[in-house]
Amino acid sequence: MSIVIKLGGKLLSQGEMFNNVIIDIANIIKKSNKKIVLVHGGGPQINQMLEKIGKKPRIVKSASGMESRITDRETVEIAQMVMAGKLNKDLVAKFESLQIKAVGLSGIDGSLIKSKRKNNLRIIDEKTGKKIAFHGDFSGNIEEINSSLIDLLLSNNYLPIIAPIGIGHEFEPLNLDGDRTAGHIASALKAETLFLFTDVPGILINGKIIDKLGKEEIESILPKVEGGMRKKVYAANEALKMGIKSVFIGSGLIENPISSVLDGRSGTELSWKFV
């Protein structure tokens, strides 16, 4: 059985503090026969690079009420450079320094994540609040995960580290949501659990952590959660619908984050076992 772990871009931007989750993962790989697959994000790092080249990041609300990035051709190129280039290889080097054999991939390599370009994004106009369309978007919807490539790496004891860039029908790079990518990969691998680690200790409502969420509660909590967390809850729910038994949302900044969320000492567990 495998475990899929997503390391959020917010977490990766916390410098040395995010080492806790890296050390935890490395120890699990060394001490158990668990097969781990890593997926990472990169939102803040993409924004930083866009700003460096004098381009303002455009994060809007999609018609479905979800926070979305407007991804024109230049933005997808930056996303690819930042996530599949810099962040992915930094993570690989980090695991290699801990004697873990790691291989970094994007969804383009071996057509690992076949996706369909959205092209027309239905968004809410910031000024008027009306629904409008943005044409020429390079974000994608995931269609197929080539899990045989991941299996090949896992069966040879490599840790696959995956950047959420998909390959489109015209072989173009497409920006993907990291949480949803992790969910689709978990589903394709029939993983037992999915961990979504970020920089906050779980789903917060009125400043309090929600420790458990069942099937019915998830839908009702969605509108009460904002920004990146709303997307994460949506992705977690999607993963449950695809057959994952438990999704944990937690902070990768605390000590031993994996056992801490598994034991219920921190984080939010989303599962249909809670009904």
Ligand X SMILES: Nc1ncnc2c1ncn2[C@@H]1O[C@H](COP(=O)(O)OP(=O)(O)OP(=O)(O)O)[C@@H](O)[C@H]1O
Residue 261 beta carbon to ligand X: minimum distance, rounded to whole angstroms = 14
Tell me which of 82, 112, 203, 235 binds ligand X, using CB under 6 A. Answer: 203
- 177-196 residues in contact with ligand X (CB under 6 A) are 178
Residue 203 beta carbon to ligand X: minimum distance, rounded to whole angstroms = 5
14 vs 155 by CB, closer to ligand X = 14
Please tell me whether residue 114 binds ligand X under the rule CB under 6 A. Answer: no
* Closest residue to Mg ion, based on beta-carbon distance: 228
For residue 132, what are its two tokens?
Answer: 């409008």
Please tell me whether residue 228 binds Mg ion under the rule CB under 5 A. Answer: yes
Report what 204 binds from ligand X, Mg ion, none; CB cut-off 5-8 Å by kind.
ligand X
Size of the site for ligand X (CB under 6 A): 20
Please tell me whether residue 41 binds ligand X under the rule CB under 6 A. Answer: yes
Residue 168 beta carbon to ligand X: minimum distance, rounded to whole angstroms = 21
Q: Taking the alpha carbons of 256, 262, 265, 267 in that order, is the dihedral positive or negative?
A: positive
Tell me which of 62, 115, 188, 199 binds ligand X, using CB under 6 A. Answer: 199
- 211-230 residues in contact with ligand X (CB under 6 A) are 225-229
Residue 210 beta carbon to Mg ion: minimum distance, rounded to whole angstroms = 18
The owner of tokens 């051709």 is 73
Residues 185, 39: Cα–Cα separation, whole Å: 9
Stretch of residues binding ligand X (CB under 6 A), selected from 42-50, 52-60, 85-93, 257-265: 42-50
Please tell me whether residue 35 binds ligand X under the rule CB under 6 A. Answer: no
10 vs 117 by CB, closer to ligand X = 10
DSSP notation for the chain: -EEEEEE-HHHHTTGGGGHHHHHHHHHHHHHS--EEEEEE--HHHHHHHHHHTT----EEEETTS-EEE---HHHHHHHIIIIIIIIHHHHHHHHHHTT--EEEEETTGGG-EEEEEEEEEEEE-TTT--EEEEEEEEEEEEEEE-HHHHHHHHHTT-EEEEESEEE-TTS-EEE--HHHHHHHHHHHTT-SEEEEEESSSS-EETTEE--EE-HHHHHHHGGG--HHHHHHHHHHHHHHHTT-SEEEEEESSSSSHHHHHHTTSSSEEEEGGG-
84 vs 100 by CB, closer to Mg ion = 84
Residue 67 beta carbon to ligand X: minimum distance, rounded to whole angstroms = 8
**Which of these, 43, 122, 26, lies nearest to 78 by C-alpha position?**
43
Report what 200 binds from ligand X, Mg ion, none; CB cut-off 5-8 Å by kind.
ligand X
In the complex, the residues that contact ligand X under the rule CB under 6 A are 8-11, 41-44, 178, 198-200, 203-204, 225-229, 232
In the complex, the residues that contact Mg ion under the rule CB under 5 A are 228
